[in-house]
Every structure is written in C-alpha cells, then in structure tokens.
C-alpha cells in the first residue's frame, strides 16, 4: 500500500495498455516540462496516439506550454472528465483548473486526490504513449507514481551541471529500487551554438550526462542545445516540435525514435 496514494484499486486503466514514460529530473528548471511537451508532440507527429499528464501539481506549467491555460475539461460528472485535445495530443494539467498565478498549497491527501483523478478518472481513450511530467526530485509524488505504474519507464532529464546530474542520479536509483526501467538520459541546454561563427560553447560543462548514464547502466538519448526559440515558442503555447522542418524539432523526434 502506498503512503500517499493508497491502494491501486483501479481496473482497466490507460496504463495497462499505453506505454507510459515518466519524465523526471533531479532539480527544477532543467527543462523537464519542455522536454515532456516536445517529446509528446514529436511522438504524435510520428503517428502515435499520445497523452500527457502534468503530475507537477504544485509547479504546473504544461498548460501554458500547450496554450490551454484556463481551458476547463469537459466532464460528464465529477469522476468522468475528458482530457483537452490540443496540437494533436490529449493533455491535462492543474492549469486547467486554477489560474496560473494562484498558489496551490495543498498537502499530501489533496495532491494525491487530484493526481488520481488525472490518472484514473480522465477518460483517456485509446492512447499509445502516455507521458507523465513528474515534479522534480525524489519526493513522495514521483515515488508514488512509480509504485502505482511499475510497468512505466523513466526518462531522466538533466542539464550538464554536476549539481543537476547528481540529483538526477538519485532519482534514477529510486526508479531502479522500485523496479521502474530507465529509458535513458536526455541532456538539455547541452551547448550554445554561436549564430555568428557556428562554434559550440559548452556553457554548463560537458560529459556529465554520459557519466550519469554510465552510472545507471543506461544511455544518453539526445542532447538539446540552448536556443531562444525553444523558450519563446513554449511561452506562446506553440512548442517548437510542432514545426515541420525545424532542426530542433528533428532532435526531439530523434530522441523519441531512440525510445520507441
Ligand atoms: P522544468 O520543468 O525542469 O522546471 P522547464 O521546462 O519549465 O523546466 O524550463 C525552464 C525554462 O527554461 C523555461 O522557460 C523553458 O522555456 C526554458 N528552456 C527549457 N529548455 C530550453 C532550451 N533548450 N533552450 C532554451 N530555453 C529552454
């Protein structure tokens, strides 16, 4: 029995059939949500039916990145609501229920309640790939989700700073302890490519994610550069992965192909 979420008494959940990818990070601000959103869109562009759960209830940001802040889901009743269809994926986030500026100051029981609703009461329909944007770190929520969906896979996101990769390593070890397989490491903000001279600058360091991957006996699935466009497009609700001949969109597709 899980301390935060109770017993899993849910039959026939979407997690029995969808391949579930938990997108986690050691620290906040490394680009975990950006990666979750862009990978979800990349997977949809490659022909899959995709769901995305924003499990970062306190620090929700998926709804903004998808441009669906304040859009309420349709519901039949309290326990049957529909995800929001946007950019050809199905998504749900705390931002669909409260305004972006409100502080969500819930403790364990309320948190687990809304998470259970997202996971089990949303009518997900037919989904091939379910992406779950975890809260950062190794707290209760990531642990509970891993225990509820032991057949899920963890995708670790980190930046090249050793401070970020060490905590990511702890999350990886937590996953291994509870029997969740690690798909690999996506390194974000890996380098900056100078628009004038084309040379690459490794601002936050190099080789950290390789070390991390080796330690966890997994692989580096991709390196995503620091690019203003990634942030700007997320801020306007139209993630860069939507763009068809964009080289960065291709990187996300490549990362997805590596885990498909
Ligand atoms: P986390 O989910 O880890 O807290 P976010 O995905 O919210 O991080 O990203 C934090 C900020 O960094 C956001 O403003 C986002 O747009 C920006 N960002 C993420 N990845 C990149 C990147 N590769 N290049 C530029 N900005 C990025």
Q: What is the pLDDT of residues 106-121, one digit of tens each?
A: 777 788 889 999 999 9
Ligand 1 center from residue 3 Cα (angstroms)? 31
Angle at alpha carbon of residue 198, lines to 196 and 201, rounded to 5°: 105
Pocket test for ligand 1, best of 30, 31, 228, 247 (most atoms within 8 A of CB): 31
Which residue lies with its CA nearest to atom 20 of ligand 1? 31
Residues 192-230 pLDDT 10s: 999 899 899 998 888 889 999 999 999 999 999 999 999
Confidence of residue 8 (pLDDT cuts 50, 70, 90): low
The helix/strand/coil state of 109 is helix
> Coil, strand or helix: which one is 95?
helix
Q: How many CB atoms lie within 10 A of CB 221?
A: 22
Q: What is the overall mean pLDDT for the chain?
A: 93
The H helix count followed by the E strand count for the chain is: 8, 12
pTM of full prediction above 0.90: yes
Of the residues 234, 240, 248, which should be mutated to test ligand 1's pocket, given the most ligand atoms within 8 Å of the CB? 234
pLDDT band of 147, cuts 50, 70, 90:
very high
Q: Are 132 and 22 in contact, with CB atoms under 8 Å apart? A: yes
The full DSSP string for 9-39 is ---S-GGGTSEEEEEEESSTTSSHHHHHHHH
Instruction: Spell out the domains of the chain, with CATH numbers in brackets.
Output: 17-259 (3.40.50.300)
Q: What average pLDDT score do residues 135-157 get? A: 95
Q: Which residues have a Cβ under 8 Å from the Cβ of 178 and sit 6 or more positions away? A: 143, 146, 147, 150
Ligand 1 atom closest to the Cα of residue 25 is 3
Q: Residues annotated as binding site for ATP?
A: 26-33
Q: Give yes or no for a contact between 44 and 213, defined as CB atoms under 8 angstroms apart.
A: no
Residues with CB under 6 A from ligand 1: 25, 28-34, 61, 188-189, 224, 226-227, 230-231, 234
Nearest residue (by CA) to ligand 1, atom 15, is 231
**Mutation choice for ligand 1 from 156, 231, 252, CB with most ligand atoms inside 8 A:** 231
* The ligand 1 atom nearest the CA atom of 226: 24
């Amino acid at each position: 029995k899980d301390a935060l979420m109770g017993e899993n008494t849910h039959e026939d959940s979407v997690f029995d059939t969808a391949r579930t990818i938990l997108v986690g990070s050691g620290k906040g601000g490394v680009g975990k949500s950006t990666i979750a959103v862009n990978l979800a869109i990349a997977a949809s562009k490659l022909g899959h039916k995709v769901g995305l759960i924003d499990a970062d209830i306190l620090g929700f940001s998926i709804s903004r990145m998808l441009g669906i802040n304040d859009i309420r889901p349709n519901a039949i009743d309290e326990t049957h609501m529909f995800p929001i269809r946007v950019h050809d994926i199905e998504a749900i986030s705390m931002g669909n229920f409260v305004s972006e500026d409100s502080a969500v100051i819930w403790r364990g029981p309320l948190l687990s309640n809304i998470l259970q609703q997202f996971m089990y009461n949303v009518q997900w329909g037919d989904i091939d790939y379910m992406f779950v944007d975890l809260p950062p770190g190794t707290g209760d929520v990531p642990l509970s989700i891993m225990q509820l969906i032991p057949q899920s896979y963890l995708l670790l996101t980190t930046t090249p700073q050793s401070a970020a990769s060490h905590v990511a390593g702890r999350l990886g070890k937590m996953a291994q302890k509870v029997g969740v397989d690690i798909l690999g490491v996506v390194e974000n903000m890996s380098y900056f490519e100078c628009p004038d001279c084309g040379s690459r600058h490794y601002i936050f360091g190099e080789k950290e994610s390789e070390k991390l991957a080796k330690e966890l006996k997994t692989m580096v699935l991709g390196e995503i550069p620091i690019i203003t466009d990634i942030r700007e497009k997320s801020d306007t609700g139209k993630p860069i992965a939507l763009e068809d001949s964009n080289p960065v969109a291709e990187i996300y597709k490549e990362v997805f192909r590596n885990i498909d």
